[in-house]
Structure 1
Amino acid sequence: MPSFPYETVDVFTDRPFGGNQLAVFTDARGLSDAQMQSLAAEMNYSETTFVLPPDDPAHDARVRIFTRAHEMPFAGHPNVGTAFVLARHGRDRGGVLRFEEIAGLVEVKVARDAAGTVTGATIAAPQALTKSIELPADAIAACAGLSPSDIVVTNHRPVRASVGVFFVLAEVTLEALSRATPDLSRFRAVRDSTPGLEGRFSLFLYARDGASDIRARMFAPISGTWEDPATGSASATVAALLLSLGSQDDASFTLTQGVEMGRPSLLHLTARRGEDGIRATVGGSCAQMFRGEALL
């Protein structure tokens, strides 16, 4: 009976039982697409990754990312956690890993402490910031169980944006953030009435807490994630979006998520203007949790 080893880590935290859980299958050769999807559903984390040999030997791995329900072109905490696991196995090259993914090439810089122990990673999102549709503030408020006045539209209206995978980003008041509660029927109604969402709707709410501190929550109940404790790809998109609203060349932010879930997460974000648009990074620490194998 074939066996497939995996490890789990908590991502965007420096201690167990915080951050966002991730399962990493470190050698997924021999697994079919259907088996990967079934394993991700079985693990029941927001995402599970499967590591395969790269198509280009100049890169380090091809990484496939699955939620409970579908494959993702890119995601933040799965890349940080996968890099953490692989680097602890000595699979990085001089502190760098390059992952081939549907959204493009993801370059990862491994973080180590003074003793040389791997502690986390920082990833560069594979695409520059893109924005598509804006959505009505009252509809987004209803999806989150809030009032339209809780949505802050001074800087931007709720907008669908991406640096590799799309989210709807909406700024809310700091007080309203803790009150947000997803309404599945409203999520479905907005998805079904908005062709520009292309059948998927994940809502990232954020509140400014000073010049560089951000608090956030993410809801994707349609795809099975009622709330996510740390959403690196959406956080990187917010950093890029905020930079796009001003005239600075670069910016950095600290984002806290997962507090309401009892899984506090800390994400470090940067954004910079480049020749091809605004690029973003997201990084943080990881905590090693379990090891096992799937027998299929």
Structure 2
Amino acid sequence: MPTSPFVTIDVFTEQRFGGNPLAVFTDAVGIPEAALQPLAGELNLSETTFVLPPDDPAHAARVRIFNRTSEMDFAGHPMVGTAYVLADRAREGRLAFEVRAGVVDVELRHDSAGIVRGAAITAPRTLAVGDRHSVESIAACLRLDTTDVVTAQHEPIEASMGNAFVMTEVRADALSQASPDEAAFRSALATQPGAGRLAILAYARNGDDVRTRMFAPLSGTPEDPATGSANVALAGLLLNLSGGRHLAYTSVQGVEMGRESRMELVAWRESEGIRASVAGSCIPVLRGEAEFS
């Protein structure tokens, strides 16, 4: 019976059972197409990646990313984690992954002994800012009062660097009180013609850094411990709002889930638009094999 190896790792953490878990199928060539989504659902993690030969031989791999219910164009913690697992494919400490949203550039991070401990990934697209959402609908999605939503810099607004999220600033003391209301999510999504998903990144300022929480119950993820694609888009949005040339800070997510995650964010301006990267550490957890008939 054919088998396919996989590993699981915790991403954006230096402690096992912290951060965001990820499963990586390191050689997915023999996995039937019809099995990819069921496998991701069976593993029941925020995302699972399947590594395939690249279309361009200059790249390290083509990587397909699945959450519990659908395939994704781009996601951050799967790129950091997959890079950690495939570090032996790096050329001078760098890799490039083909994903549906484009090409993700990766720089491996090493400790003082030269051992790979994590990676920094650059989002495949420049910042795109989309529709605004009403304070009332987003507050309802988060089970918060409208007064908990901070609009001094922006109203709830979609931002994307390959994967769209509604960026919502909330009061610091309200962030830990938020929880997803699935019915309100469905109502809010229904008001956005053509939108295929609704995911909210709620954030609060913590001095020069931020604390974040991400909710996407309609995609099978009521809450995510660490969301790199949301945090890079937030970094890009904050730089855009500031009018500056460069921005760097730390984002902490997953605290309320008991899986604290730390992400190092950098955003900068280029001639074609605002780019951003997210970096963090990884810890290996499990190895196994999946069988196919």
* Fold in common (TM above 0.5): yes
**Corresponding residue for residue 90 of structure 2:** 92
* Cα distance between partner residues in 1 of 2:51 and 2:18: 24
Could you list the runs of 4 or more consecutive aligned residues of structure 1 that deviate by over 6 angstroms after TM superposition?
none
2:227: which partner in 1? 231
Give 1:216's aligned amino acid. T
Unmatched tracts of structure 2, length 5 or more: none
2:253 to 252, 257, 260: 257
Question: Could you report, residue by residue, the CA deviation over 1:172-217 in whole angstroms, capped at 9, with x for unpaired residues?
Answer: 0110000001100000111112215x12001110011112x10000
Q: How does 1:60-79 map to 2 (within 5 A)?
A: 60-79=60-79
User: Identity of counterpart residues, as a percentage?
Assistant: 55
Task: Determine which of 179, 182, 191 is the counterpart of 2:180.
Answer: 182
Alpha carbon RMSD of aligned pairs, Å? Answer: 0.7
Q: 1:270 matched to which residue of 2? A: 266
**Partner of residue 14, structure 1:** 14
Q: Any idea what the Cα deviations from partners look like across 1:240-272, whole Å, max 9, x if unmatched? A: 000000121001010000000000000000000
**TM score, norm. by length of structure 1:** 0.97
Contact (CA 8 Å) 1:192, 1:199: kept in 2 or not?
Answer: no
Match of 2:244 among 238, 245, 248: 248
Aligned to 1:217: 213
Query: What amino acid is the match of 1:3?
Result: T
**Alpha-carbon displacement from aligned partner over 1:34-58 (angstroms, at most 9, x marks no partner):** 2111110011000000000000001
Structure 2 Cα separation of the partners of residues 194 and 108 of structure 1 = 34
Deviation per residue, 1:7-49 (Å, 9 max, x gap): 0000000110000000000000022332111110011000000
Equivalent residue number for residue 164 of structure 1? 162
Amino acid at match of 1:178: S
Mark the runs of 5 or more structure 1 residues left unpaired by the alignment. none
**Secondary structure of residue in 1 paired with 2:86:** helix
Partner SS, residue 152 of structure 1: coil
Inter-partner Cα distance in structure 2 for 1:238 and 1:216 = 10
Distance 2:242 2:214 in 1: 24
SS of 1:245's partner is helix
